[in-house]
């Protein structure tokens, strides 16, 4: 059965810290992996990864995919209180099936 | 990206009633999806709304409980029927946009509380 596992489930850091969020997956006919940030209701799109080893970067956030080891990481450097959110990893299969992980709840304290 | 409008954004519903959630997209999209996110949990796909045909439901979800309409390429509705407190959840509409590499975008969600 396809599954997406995120770790840790929750994380508390202080402003300025660097965090690494993990997402491992087992999906038949993998097509892409997506990262979302969810603060209140709707998740907002961060990155889509389709190829191994190519880092996607946006400001203090970056992400990379390893299709051989079946995982992705999301890095946030110099964290700010505004980074506090649930970060969701989702994997899309070739048949457009999309499966979400349980999310990592990040709390950044001032 | 796509701009997705959902309404209502929030509602309190009586047990046994039904509520229809609307999802409007600012462009024509092939794929529209409905998700549920129960408190403290991740998103679960309810169904894929297909234009011109019946929706495709995931395991554990049935048409009688969650009827879906998709009359055109920019609009869909999800009805939550005969609601119980267990249906209290955020319901999210999302769309896939091939021009963005099939990235999935989400509406703001509809937060339903059943009392």
Q: Does A92 touch chain B (CB under 8 A)?
A: yes
**Placement of tokens 């299969």 in the chain:** A93
The partner residue sitting opposite A48, judged by closest CB among B41, B103, B111, is: B103
More confident residue, A68 or B1: A68
Beta pairing class for A71-76 and A85-93: unpaired
**Placement of tokens 């969701």 in the chain:** A88
Q: Does A1 touch chain B (CB under 8 A)?
A: no
pLDDT, one tens digit per residue, over B43-75 is 899 998 988 788 999 999 999 999 999 999 999
Q: Are A43 and A100 in contact (CB under 8 A)?
A: no
Which region among A37-41, B17-21, B81-85, B89-93 has the lowest average model confidence (pLDDT)?
Answer: A37-41
Nearest chain B alpha carbon to A42: B108
pLDDT at position A50: 92
Average pLDDT for B1-18 = 92
Residue A17 has pLDDT above 80, yes or no: yes
The partner residue sitting opposite B45, judged by closest CB among A42, A44, A98, is: A98
Q: Quick one: tokens of A47? A: 């990155």
More confident residue, B1 or A73: A73
The rounded mean pLDDT for chain B is 90
Greatest Cα pair distance in chain A? 43
Average pLDDT for B68-94 = 95
Residue A27 has pLDDT above 70, yes or no: yes
The rounded mean pLDDT for chain A is 93
Cα–Cα dist A80/A87, whole Å: 15
Residue A28 has pLDDT above 70, yes or no: yes
Query: Which residue, B99, B97, B61, is CA-closest to B80?
Result: B61
pLDDT at position A47: 93
- Residue A46, number of CB atoms within 10 A of its CB: 18
pLDDT, one tens digit per residue, over A43-66 is 898 999 999 999 999 999 999 999
Here the CATH number for the domain that contains residue B45 is 2.60.40.10
pLDDT-derived band at B97 (thresholds 50, 70, 90) equals: low
Residue A69 has pLDDT above 60, yes or no: yes
What is the Cα A95 distance to its own chain's centre? 21
pLDDT above 90 as % of chain B: 66
Domains of chain A: 3-109 (2.60.40.10)
Cα–Cα dist B92/A98, whole Å: 14
What range defines the domain where residue B53 resides? 4-114
| The total number of structural domains that make up chain B | 1
Residue B100 in 3-state DSSP? helix
Which region among A92-96, B35-39, B80-84 has the lowest average model confidence (pLDDT)?
Answer: A92-96
Residue B98 in 3-state DSSP? helix
Query: A44: which chain B residues are within 8 Å (Cβ-Cβ)?
Result: 106
Cα–Cα dist A24/A3, whole Å: 8
pLDDT, one tens digit per residue, over B27-50 is 888 888 999 999 888 889 999 898
Which region among A72-86, A93-107, B3-17 has the lowest average model confidence (pLDDT)?
Answer: A93-107
Residue B101 has pLDDT above 80, yes or no: no
CA torsion angle for A99, A104, A105, B1 (degrees, to 10)? -50
Cα–Cα dist B111/B21, whole Å: 10
| Paired strand residues for A43 | none
Q: Does A95 touch chain B (CB under 8 A)?
A: no
Q: Quick one: tokens of A4? A: 């997406």
Q: Would you call B31 and A96 a contact, using CB atoms and an 8 Å cutoff?
A: yes
Cα–Cα dist A41/A64, whole Å: 26
């Amino acid at each position: 059965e396809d599954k997406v596992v995120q770790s840790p489930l929750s994380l508390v850091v202080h402003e300025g810290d660097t965090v690494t969020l993990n997402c491992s997956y087992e999906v038949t006919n993998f097509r892409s992996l997506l990262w979302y940030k969810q603060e209140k209701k709707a998740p907002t799109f961060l990155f889509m990864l389709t190829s191994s080893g190519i880092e996607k970067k946006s400001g203090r956030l970056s992400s990379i995919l390893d299709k051989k080891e079946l995982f992705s990481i999301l890095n946030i450097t110099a964290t700010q209180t505004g980074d506090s959110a649930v970060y969701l990893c989702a994997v899309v299969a070739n048949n457009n099936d999309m499966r979400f992980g349980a999310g990592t709840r990040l709390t950044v304290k001032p | 990206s796509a701009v997705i409008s959902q309404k209502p954004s929030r509602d309190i519903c009586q047990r046994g009633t039904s509520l229809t959630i609307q999802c409007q997209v600012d462009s024509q999209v092939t794929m529209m999806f409905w998700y549920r996110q129960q408190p403290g949990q991740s998103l679960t796909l309810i169904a894929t709304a297909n234009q011109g045909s019946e929706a495709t439901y995931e395991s554990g979800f049935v048409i009688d409980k969650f009827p879906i309409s998709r009359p055109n390429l920019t609009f869909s509705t999800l009805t939550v029927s005969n609601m119980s407190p267990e249906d209290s959840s955020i319901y999210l509409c999302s769309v896939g946009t091939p021009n963005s590499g099939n990235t999935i975008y989400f509406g703001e969600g509809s937060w339903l509380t059943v009392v």
